[in-house]
Homo-oligomer: A and B are copies of this chain.
Amino acid sequence: MSDQSIKELVDHYIHVSFSVNKLAEGMVKGQIGLDLTNDQHYTLRYINKVGSCTSSELAAVFDVKKSAITAIITRLWEKGLILRTRDENDRRVVYLTLTEKGNELFQKTEERIQALVESIITKFDQDELVQFLKTYDKLKEILLERKSRVE
């Protein structure tokens, strides 16, 4: 690969990932904007997926400080969407779970997002899509590996 073509590929990647990000964020917001912010939705998504987690875990997954998570969680808690439960064995730890209301709201917004993403990705051949996700996964692994090496 010549230096020239590498620079072009780098520029290309930076440009397209930026554009797709902005467009996707706007799209998600359009689906959930009335009840939740995007970050709040992603938080509910994660807790829904794992069932129960801690603030420290969320901070690691979202790559932000714990105090940022406290702020998001407090807002969701004020809306009655999240439960905070102290661990009786280690009283430093607080487990986060969805309330009934939180689960319902997540499922409702999730349906819309699933439908939206589905309407988009079904415009690709399955082969193309599978290959795309494979490379995307590989990229994720490389970034994860790099992060663990740097920090």
A140, B27: Cβ atoms closer than 8 Å: no
CB closest residue in chain B, given A6: B118
A23, B133: Cβ atoms closer than 8 Å: no
Query: Within 8 Å of chain B (Cβ to Cβ): is A144?
Result: yes
**Number of identical protomers:** 2
Q: Which residues of B contact A144 (CB under 8 A)?
A: 19, 23
Q: Which residues of B contact A68 (CB under 8 A)?
A: none
B22, A62: Cβ atoms closer than 8 Å: yes
Of the residues B25, B63, B137, contact of A22 by C-beta under 8 Å: B63
B117, A10: Cβ atoms closer than 8 Å: yes
Query: Within 8 Å of chain B (Cβ to Cβ): is A138?
Result: yes
A6 vs B115: C-alpha distance when bound (angstroms): 10
B143, A20: Cβ atoms closer than 8 Å: yes
A100 to chain B, nearest CB (A): 23
A42 vs B12: C-alpha distance when bound (angstroms): 14
A113, B14: Cβ atoms closer than 8 Å: yes
Query: Within 8 Å of chain B (Cβ to Cβ): is A95?
Result: no
Of the residues B16, B61, B63, B142, contact of A137 by C-beta under 8 Å: B16
A interface vs B, CB < 8 Å?
Answer: 1, 5-7, 9-10, 12-14, 16-27, 30, 42, 45, 61-63, 113-114, 117-118, 120-124, 126, 128-133, 135-140, 142-144, 146-147, 150
